[in-house]
Amino acid sequence: MALLVQKYGGTSVGDAEKITNVARRVAATQAAGNQIVVVVSAMGKATDELIALAQSVTKSPEPRELDLLLSTGELVSSTLMAMALRELGVASISMGGAQAGIQTDTAHGRASIVHLDPARVRRELDTGRVVIVAGFQGITDDMDITTLGRGGSDTTAVALAAALKAERCEVYTDVDGIYTADPRVVPSARKLSEIGYEEMLELATYGAKMHPRSIELAAWYKVPVLVASSTQDIPGTLIHDVDNGGNAMEVSNKVSGVTYERNVARITMRAVPDRPGVVAHVFEPLTDAGISVDTIVQNASAERLTDVSFTVERADLVRALEVSSRVASDIGAADCVANDHLGNVSIVGTGMQNAPGYASRMFRALSDAAINIEMITTSQIRITCIVDEAQVNDAVRVLHQAFELDTE
């Protein structure tokens, strides 16, 4: 008998029929002799609708109230799932995040789990029930309900799997695994049968549809995560500790995947005085405003003046520009200019760190396709180029081809 945590995304529980279909799958897995915790997202676009509803009442909803409101989306799907299971004759119980013992800090809208006491969940499992937990939420010491950030149900699922020492966390979605590239952009993309945590973290941070924090958590607690289809019975992708050393001889292609993001905006602060502390001045107010900054490039200074460029999500551009224009005048920089139609494309692979030449191959492939590179950033296992948004699809396709990802 294995203990499994299964997570179903919003599309997979989008209406009553889909909920019943998921319930059937859960029932079958239980009948095969497993204990199951099910974590659900809100139905379909429920979270977006709740946000829109809040915004129709006020332009700036209070974070505490917004979190309590958003938490109801997952309460709806989890209670319905419990009812659907009962209808099939399966004993079940639903719980909000708080009831499942998920304790968070007070950062409304992007709370972190600080403690998870799974005692109640375990007790219910031991009576033979399937436990359904509302994803994406927890509770503070002060009994305020928090949410974990958009996409946070993945993190709920992995956290429960870790706390319960589950055999595996299974994430069922409308994509049936992790691909070498988004199949909607690259039809010849291949599904990976397995991938390591590190690579998956880079893919998730730069476009693949999983909450990056869930991968961090899985890596930390060594929880194997299976990503698979919620409707079809076909093999998915297992995210786990891949031992690259063991089969290094066979790994001729060291890029595992190409990923992308649209909706990237860049701000350039021009003629920034080059003295200690200035860059801290630029970024602290952005952090305080809850704006996350991705790529940062500071030029070498000419005559003690330098340009600092950074990217943010397009949705944050207006606020980021407000904040940084204020900072620019405080520190005596010339001004801030923005470009709001950028995207990025990345190649990811653990093998790249010990092999030179990947960057130049990437730049050559982009240049052969007449794609201009606006900015470049790298990690040990990733190279990212910021490009014009209109060229993102082309960039993904040429890189997929250049690194021969369509062949095994």
151 belongs to the binding site for Mg ion (CB under 5 A): yes
Identify what 42 binds: ligand ASP, Mg ion, none; CB under 5 to 8 Å per kind.
ligand ASP
Q: Choose, by CB under 6 A, the member of 13, 26, 42, 215 that binds ligand ASP.
A: 42
Q: Are 162 and 154 in contact (CB under 8 A)?
A: no
296-298, strands of its sheet edge to edge: 296-298, 305-313, 257-273, 335-348, 382-388, 375-379
Q: DSSP string spanning 52-88?
A: HHHHHH-SS--HHHHHHHHHHHHHHHHHHHHHHHHHT
Residue 5 to residue 22: CA distance in whole angstroms: 14
44 belongs to the binding site for ligand ASP (CB under 6 A): no
Taking the complex as a whole, how short is the minimal distance between the CB of residue 147 and ligand ASP, in angstroms? 7
Identify what 150 binds: Mg ion, ligand ASP, none; CB under 5 to 8 Å per kind.
ligand ASP
160 belongs to the binding site for ligand ASP (CB under 6 A): no
Residue 119 to residue 251: CA distance in whole angstroms: 44
295 belongs to the binding site for ligand ASP (CB under 6 A): no
Phi-psi domain of 89 (left: phi exceeds 0; alpha: psi -120 through 50; beta: other): left
Q: DSSP string spanning 365-390?
A: HHHHTTPPP-EEEEETTEEEEEEEGG
Q: Which is nearer to ligand ASP, 10 or 349 (CB)?
A: 10
Q: Choose, by CB under 6 A, the member of 10, 14, 63, 177 that binds ligand ASP.
A: 10
151 belongs to the binding site for ligand ASP (CB under 6 A): yes
Q: Choose, by CB under 6 A, the member of 30, 153, 311, 324 that binds ligand ASP.
A: 153
Q: Segment 186-225, which members bind ligand ASP (CB under 6 A)?
A: none
Identify which range of 52-60, 151-159, 319-327, 357-365 contacts ligand ASP by CB under 6 A. Answer: 151-159
Residue located via tokens 């897995």: 29
Identify what 64 binds: ligand ASP, Mg ion, none; CB under 5 to 8 Å per kind.
none
Taking the complex as a whole, how short is the minimal distance between the CB of residue 211 and Mg ion, in angstroms? 6
Residue type present at position 136:
F
106 burial via Cβ count (<10 Å: 0-12, 13-18, 19+): middle
Q: Which is nearer to ligand ASP, 47 or 309 (CB)?
A: 47
136 belongs to the binding site for ligand ASP (CB under 6 A): yes
Taking the complex as a whole, how short is the minimal distance between the CB of residue 10 and ligand ASP, in angstroms? 5
96 belongs to the binding site for ligand ASP (CB under 6 A): no
Q: Which of 95, 58, 71 is nearest to 144 (CA)?
A: 71
Identify what 12 binds: Mg ion, ligand ASP, none; CB under 5 to 8 Å per kind.
none
Identify what 135 binds: ligand ASP, Mg ion, none; CB under 5 to 8 Å per kind.
ligand ASP
Residue 345 to residue 34: CA distance in whole angstroms: 41
Q: Choose, by CB under 6 A, the member of 14, 118, 135, 212 that binds ligand ASP.
A: 135
Q: DSSP string spanning 200-233?
A: HHHHHHTTSSS-HHHHHHHHHHT--EEEEESSS-
Q: Choose, by CB under 6 A, the member of 14, 44, 63, 73 that binds ligand ASP.
A: 73
Please give the residue ranges that form the binding site for ligand ASP (CB under 6 A).
10, 41-42, 47, 73, 135-136, 150-153
